[in-house]
Structure 1
Amino acid sequence: MRVREMLSSHPQAAGVVNDALAQCIEACFGCAQVCMSCADACLAEDRSSQLTRCIRLDLDCADACATTGSVLSRRTAATSALMVQMLETCADFCRLCADECERHAGHHEHCRLCAETCRQCERACHQAASASGLTGP
């Protein structure tokens, strides 16, 4: 992805980009795609009814990540505190989805991959929130 280049080319950026933010945007969009694919793979499993919670969390996480990535990609008038709340919420969705996918990871490779991706995105969200300077210790 060219997230960093796009962020730095924005007229209001003056060439300055928060690397943690750029990495988080990439992680969010990547996680959204993986979660959507995992939900689809769960639906294709023979006993998909046993994966209902996993599918729902995959879809919720995909939406949370896509929304977070989209909003963080824009330079809006939204406050930094609001952005931190959004990052923390996205991290929470990623944690919940990863926890659930890990329950099925031994039987379903797609759940293992999804759990790993969600954990990476969760970390990226926390790092971006910390880099904003508005989070606690």
Structure 2
Amino acid sequence: MQQTDFTDCIAACQTCFVACEHCAASCLSEGHATEMAACIKLDRDCADLCALSAALMARGSAFAPALCAICAQLCEACAAECARHDAEHCQACAIACRQCAEICRAMAG
């Protein structure tokens, strides 16, 4: 596998990583972290998996497609949770997660 085959997916994972980290940090700083716990947990899980997926694709790992299939599932779950909240950062995160899920799913085949 060559890294150039995954350019769009790596970019989507990186964008999603940033959106998820920003969403989690924003949820934590807004003073209602307890009611946003599910959102924060999914944001953190999604950010970590997107970062790992991008790294595996960048190094051309044979495991990248399988990991990206799981990443797509997690991105969908995070998008669904974030979409439930009105905060702008949650809505932006939901969009990034949906886009990443779509691209990861296509890459994974």
Q: TM-score, normalised by structure 1?
A: 0.74
- Give the % identical residues: 39
Give the partner amino acid of 1:45: E
Match for 1:125 among 80, 104, 109?
104
Q: How does 1:1-137 map to 2 (within 5 A)?
A: 17-18=4-5, 21-76=6-61, 78=62, 82-104=63-85, 107-130=86-109
Root-mean-square deviation (Å) = 1.7
Which runs of 4 or more aligned residues in structure 1 lie more than 6 Å from their structure 2 counterparts after TM superposition?
Answer: none
State the Cα distance separating 1:46 from its structure 2 match: 2.7
Q: How many residues align?
A: 109
Secondary structure of the structure 2 residue equivalent to 1:50: coil
In structure 2, the gaps of 5 or more residues are none
Q: Kindly indicate which of the two structures has a greater share of residues assigned to helix.
A: 2
Higher relative contact order (CA 8 A, sep 6+): 2
CA distance in 2, matches of 1:73, 1:125: 14
Q: TM-score, normalised by structure 2?
A: 0.92
Compare CA radii of gyration and give the structure with the larger one.
1
Secondary structure of the structure 1 residue equivalent to 2:34: helix
State the Cα distance separating 1:83 from its structure 2 match: 2.6
In structure 1, the gaps of 5 or more residues are 1-11, 131-137
